[in-house]
Structures are given as structure tokens and as C-alpha cells.
Amino acid sequence: MIPASQTASSSTIRHASGADLLVECLVRNGVEVVFAYPGGASMPIHQALTRWEHKIRTILPRHEQGGGFMAEGYARSTGRVGVCIATSGPGATNFVTCLADAKMDSVPLVAITGQVPTPVIGTDAFQETPIVEICRSITKHHYLVTRTEDIPRVVKEAFYVTSTGRPGPVLIDLPKDVQNRCITADLDPPINLPGYRPHRRAKREELLKVMELIRQSRKPIIYAGGGIVHANAGHLLKAFAEKTCIPVALTLMGLGSFPSSHYLCLQMLGMHGTVYANYAINEADLLLALGVRFDDRVTGKVSEFCKHGKIVHIDIDPAELNKCKPALLPIAGDISLALQDMLELVEQGAHLDPGESPGGKHADWLRQIEYWRETEPLSYRDRNDAILAQYAIERLWHIIRDRGQLKDTIITTGVGQHQMWAAQYYRFETPRTWFTSGGLGAMGFGLPAAIGAKAACPDKTVIDIDGDGSFLMNIQELATAYVEKLPVKVLLLNNQHLGMVVQWEDRFYQSNRAHTYLGAGPDEDPYPDFVKLAQGFRCGARSVQEKADLDEAIEEMLDSTGPYVLEVMVPYQEHVLPMIPSGHTVRDIIKA
């Protein structure tokens, strides 16, 4: 049961249209920004938004997918619910990728779609699509509202469901006649969701078993994921790792939840993770999996993953427990509360034998990991005749670090090689400074997500590290950035190819090129001209090819007062390494 007053106060009673009720309910749920693209079936909502401009900022994307990704960037940067609005038919279906992305990466998102009037639903009316049915399996919950009276309850439920338990997207489909109808309604109705119990706390006896497994272990490792970020538990993870002297390997979505510079941090594990993180997982006798889902890009051949170790899996979503990898001790619980409770047990010494210290107990294990770290570091063969993408990302990180701005800079990415290189060579120190499409791998995510993050965090520098393929998928959102005065920066690593697909062609398809070249021809200049495109959107832009020009160009980008695209021409022959081929094991790791 959700706590709510059973008697409506006079301040919550309103006589208004459904559209006005919707917008006021958004205000009552703390919404300050919406990303909304109008159309016939959502016009009443937009008219209502103009009457609430003093409370809600409406940002107009140039494509509904851009708006959905902006709402994700807003949510990921704040932990608050992101809201996006579109019309029916194609407007609604343009949200499908965003909803699937939010579902995979556990992002609190409320997507509101206009729908054709209720009398013509099911008749193939103009711009009608059954968006609830289309999105049933890629949303946490969904509503088709057929009564204006239900709007306050539905909005209240939607915000509760999306932001509690494991976060995820909720869809509200609102027919036009329901928006237009005027009624008197209670804006704060009591609601009851008897089948939804999102608040889970691990039992003390379960956590005592975790302490016993730690006590028995000599080679433990923590495998931490995006659940740490969503639970705002980064500080608890750090305290727990330090007090137990257990090293931490991070998933792609977990980057930033544990400081990259910390001596216990093994950086990212998995397909393109560090060699030493993957070696450590392979040799560990105890794996503490915290807020993760054993994604195939982490595990490789799942039966061989951590084959020698006992597994403890703690996650807020019981559906993830034993889904991919059986755990000796599966625990359904809020990871923040679990870490709080485990820290209390650690303070009591429940994880140690009498007279034992964590540092002494794990000394040999930590020395072994340090040996791997020193002998198998992340590295690349730099070139004097070209700027490598890895080098450009490293220089960006160094310059931002030297400016003392790491904690005040947010990085987003598209999907591809640049995404993995950013994860490897840009070192994240704090949570909610790294946003990427991890589970779905949606190209076109980087720029709109950066715009959403900048709208949420105007005092932070927001940089989209992107590739030419991904950038082109939502390049129109440069218009949004300029018009809305959201000065995001784009570090565009242009290799004229779909780089990750080219890498797989080289490794597994005898280098046969199958439609992965994005240029105009071998004798043509780089295509398209991204500098002119950016300037056409009235954004700052520059292209560099020489290493000697790179640092000064990065400084110029960072100092620019408006949106800025810095194109860096990079070779397409580079591969993201190390690499564990899909479905393989750490024994098959490719290092060169």
C-alpha cells in the first residue's frame, strides 16, 4: 500500500480538462522539465503545458527518439524520473527504442503518448498504433487511460512504479477525447497496488551467511554493476571494499560507482574489460555480485564464468537471481540497505576469524592482482602519423583532470568502438558521470542523452564522445542544443566506418567489408562534412588531424560558450583490445 490521504483536501480538487489535470499531476510529482514533440493526438497536452510554463520547462526535440533519450539523460544524471511526450502513431513508435533502452538499463522514465479518440480505437484511424501492445514487453508497466477520472491515479502510480524497486520505464497512452474532457477530480487520490512490493531488505541471516563466505574466502572479488548507481550506494560500496580489502571489478554500467583511481579498483571486466579484472574473476574463490545481471558481454561462456568460485548475488529484482548464472546464495534486496547492513556486520568482525585482519588475510591475493595489473595493463600502440581514438580520449581525460573538473563533467557516448575506448581510457571517479546505452546498445544515444543531462545539470560540463555512425543517427538534435541554449560538447571520433562491425569483420569474417564504409569514396574528402553540418546548426565546430593540434582544440571545445563539435579524424584499422570473443572464456582473450 502506498501511503496516501484517504480524504481529499480542498487544495487537491480541480475542475479542469484531462490535459490540464495531467500537467498539474506532473508538477505535483516534482517534474520540472519535459521533452515533448507535439502532434494531432497530443495537442491538448501541449496547450496545457503552455499554461504551466512557470512550473515546467518544455524542451522541443527534433525527433521523438531524441526526446526519449534526452529524458533518459535527465534521469540518469539526477536519479529523478525523466518524462517524454509524443503524439500517437509514428510519434509513439519512435519511443520504442528509448523504452527498450530504459528497460534494459533500469532507467526511471515515464513516456506519455497521445492516442486517437476512444470511439475509433481499433478502427485503424489516422495515426493509430496499439502502442501499449507494442511496448508491453519493454516497459515495467503501461496504461491505456480510457477515463479522464483515472488520470491523477495513473500518473501517481506511474511515478511510484518507475522509481521504486528496480527502476524502469512506464508508458501512459492517453486518447485525445480523454485529454479534452473536463471533470472535477482529486489530484492526490489514494492508490493501492497489492501485487507490487518493491521494498525488499535482505534478511540478517542471509547477510550473516555472506559474512561466513567472506571469512572462508582467500581470493574474493566484488563484481559491481549499475544497481550500485541506481541505489546511490557508491559510498557504501567504497566503505565495504576498503574495510574488507576486497578488490572491485565494474560492469560497463557500473563505471563511476567505485573510484577508478582507487587501489582496489580493477576497472571494467568482460568482453573489453581489463586483462587483470578478467583474470581475477577467473581465479576468485568468492564472487560478490552486487546490482548486476550477469550479462553475456561480462560472462562470455556462462558455464565457465567464475567456475572456481562461490557466488553471492544480491539484487533488488528477484527475476535476475539465478536467471543466467546460478548463485550459491541468491539474495533479493535493496543493494543500498544490504551494504549498510553488511557494513554493520563487518564493523563487528563477522567476516574474520579472531585476531585476523583483512589486509593480512588477502595479502597474497592482492599481490597477485597487482602483478597482473603491472604486467597486463590497458595499452595501445600509439602512432606519430595519426591520432588514435584511445589517445584522443586519454588527452580529454587528462585535460579535464588537470582542470580539476572530473567530478563536474558528465560523459555520454554513442555505441561502438568509441564507447568501449571511452570506458577503458576515461577514468570515472564518481557516480552519475557516465551514461551509455549498455544493454540495448542503441546508436544515436550520445547526443540527446547529453542534452538531457545538460538540462538537468546546467552547471556541469557535458561531453558526448561519439562515432560518426552513431552521431549521424540523431545529429538533428544539434538544433535542440542550440535553440534551447544547452551548450553540450561533442568529441566526434571519425573513422569513416562502422568501426566495431569492421573489427568483427577483421576478426571473424576474413576482413570482408559488408556495407561498413560510411564515406563517399576512397578518393573523396571525408564525408559528410561534419564541421559544415554543425555550423549549419549554428554550433561551434572544428576538425583536427594532427596530434600537435589536439590539446589546443580540446581546450577550445571546453571553453566554448555554446554547443560545439570537435571532429577528430582517426584511422579505421584500430581494434578495441583486449577482447574476449562472444561466447568464449578468459582463456581465449585477444590481447593484440
The per-residue pLDDT for range 524-538, each reduced to its tens digit, is 999 999 999 999 999
Which of 500, 557, 569, 579 is labelled catalytic? 500
- Domain 389-569: which topology? Rossmann fold (3.40.50)
Calculate helix-pair angle for 234-244, 335-347, nearest 10 degrees.
30
Going by C-alpha positions, the residue among 492, 499, 496 that lies closest to residue 550 is 492
pLDDT at 570: 98
537 is catalytic: no
Calculate helix-pair angle for 417-425, 499-508, nearest 10 degrees.
100
Residues paired with residue 364 on neighbouring β-strands, in sequence order: none
pLDDT at 359: 82
Task: State residue 509 phi and psi, 5-degree precision.
Answer: -135, 30
8 A C-beta contact, residue 176 and residue 41 = yes
pLDDT at 357: 87
DSSP 22: H
Q: What pTM does this model have?
A: 0.96
8 A C-beta contact, residue 70 and residue 449 = yes
Which of 64, 157, 320, 484 is labelled catalytic? 64
126 is catalytic: yes
Q: How far apart are CA 383 and CA 550, in angstroms?
A: 14
Q: How far apart are CA 366 and CA 152, in angstroms?
A: 55
Going by C-alpha positions, the residue among 592, 546, 534, 548 that lies closest to residue 570 is 546
Which of 103, 140, 156, 176 is labelled catalytic? 176
Does 204-375 match 10-186 at the fold level?
Answer: yes
Q: How far apart are CA 433 and CA 416, in angstroms?
A: 19
Q: How far apart are CA 257 and CA 429, in angstroms?
A: 8
Which of 126, 216, 348, 532 is labelled catalytic? 126
8 A C-beta contact, residue 420 and residue 579 = no
8 A C-beta contact, residue 500 and residue 417 = yes
477 is catalytic: no
Q: How far apart are CA 359 and CA 365, in angstroms?
A: 10
| Average pLDDT per 10 consecutive residues for the chain, totaling 592 residues | 50 92 97 98 98 97 98 98 98 98 98 98 97 98 98 98 98 98 95 91 97 97 98 98 97 98 98 98 97 97 95 97 97 98 96 88 95 96 94 98 97 98 98 98 98 98 98 98 98 97 97 96 92 98 97 98 98 97 95 92
pLDDT at 5: 43
64 is catalytic: yes
Grid coordinates given for 460: 556541469
500 is catalytic: yes
Report CA dihedral (29, 33, 36, 41) to the nearest 10 degrees.
30
Cell 544515436 belongs to which residue? Answer: 444
Identity of residue 388: L
Residues paired with residue 170 on neighbouring β-strands, in sequence order: 110, 141
Domain boundaries, the chain: 10-186, 204-375, 389-569
Q: How far apart are CA 497 and CA 13, in angstroms?
A: 58
- Say yes or no: domain 10-186 is CATH 3.40.640.10: no
pLDDT at 6: 47
Q: How far apart are CA 370 and CA 365, in angstroms?
A: 9
Cα angle 386-392-394, degrees, rounded to a multiple of 5: 130
- Say yes or no: domain 204-375 is CATH 3.40.50.1220: yes
Which of 127, 340, 476, 545 is labelled catalytic? 127
